[in-house]
């Protein structure tokens, strides 16, 4: 749960409306996988 919270908001461009921050966070998680944290395919899907 903590990893979701950190990654999800890490891609906010501003504090206002930014509907695309979730998809950007998803792409970021895929980039970081294996380097910063280990998740299997199922865990990454849940994230």
| pLDDT per 10-residue tile (average), the chain, 47 residues | 83 88 91 90 91
Mean pLDDT (the chain, rounded): 88
CA distance 39 to 33: 7
Query: Please, what is the angle between helix 21-32 and helix 2-10, to 10°?
Result: 120
CA distance 2 to 14: 21
Please give the model's pTM, rounded to 2 decimal places.
Answer: 0.75
Instruction: For the chain, give every domain's residue range.
Output: 2-10+20-46
CA distance 44 to 40: 6
CB 28 within 8 A of CB 47: no
């Amino acid at each position: 749960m903590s990893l979701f919270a950190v990654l999800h908001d890490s891609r906010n461009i501003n504090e206002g409306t930014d509907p695309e921050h979730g998809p950007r966070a998803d792409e970021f998680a895929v980039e970081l996988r294996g380097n910063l944290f280990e998740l299997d395919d199922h865990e990454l899907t849940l994230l």
